[in-house]
Amino acid sequence: MVVSTQTPTALRILVAEEKEVHKRLRGAVMSFLKPESLKSFVGRMESVIEKHFVDHWEGKESVTVLPLMKKRTFDVACTTFRKVSNARRRICKQLVGIIEGRKVEIAKGRASPEQDLLSCLVCMRDENGQPLTEEEVIDNLIVGMLAGHDTTSTLVTHLVRMLALHSEFYQNFLQGSFVGVVG
C-alpha cells in the first residue's frame, strides 16, 4: 500500500499543476495535429511512404498490411525525432569538450565559478557534496540555451517595438542615456 505523506493542500496543488501540465501538452498536440501544421510533414512522409511501397509491396502477390503500416507509421513519426536525436548527439559531443575545458580553467583560476551558467553547473554540488554528472550539466545547458533563446528573442522584440513606438526612448537609447526612461 502506498501512503501519501503530502498534506491535503499540497495534494490539491500537485493535482492542479498536473492538470495544467496536461492541458498545455494537449494544447501543443492539438496545435500540431491541425491540417496547416501537418502540411509541413507531407513532403517528408511522401518519400518515406514511397520507399516503403517499393521495399515491401512492389512485386508481391499479397502483404500483411497491419504490421507493415505500424512499422511505417512509426518510421514517419520518428523522422523528426531521429533528426533531433542526431543533432542532440552532435551538440553533446561539442559540449563535453567545452565542459572539460571550463573545469580546467576554473581549476587554474582563469575562470570564476559564478561567471556564467556553465561555470555554475560545473561547480554545483548536491546535498552530499557530489558534482553534477556530465549528463546533468549537458541537460541543464541545453535547457538554458533553449529557454534563453526564447526569452531573449522575446525581450529584444519588445525592446525594438518600444523604441519604434516611442521616439524619446529611441533618442535616449542612441545617446546611451537611460535616465528617465525607466521609471
Q: Where in the sequence is the domain holding 103, given as residue range(s)?
A: 44-55+62-175
Q: 97 lies in a domain?
A: yes
Q: 26 lies in a domain?
A: no
Q: 82 lies in a domain?
A: yes
**Structural domain tally of the chain?**
1
Q: Write out the DSSP string of the chain.
A: -----S-HHHHHHHHHHHHHHHHHHHHHHHHHTSHHHHHHHHHHHHHHHHHHHHHHTTT-S---HHHHHHHHHHHHHHHHHHHHHHHHHHHHHHHHHHHHHHHHHHHTTSS-TTSSHHHHHHH-B-TTSPBPPHHHHHHHHHHHHHHHHHHHHHHHHHHHHHHHH-HHHHHHHHHT--TTT--
pLDDT along the chain (183 residues), means of 10: 51 60 68 68 73 85 82 74 86 95 96 90 91 92 80 79 84 70 47
Q: 68 lies in a domain?
A: yes
Q: 16 lies in a domain?
A: no
Full-model pTM: 0.50
Q: 21 lies in a domain?
A: no
Q: 106 lies in a domain?
A: yes
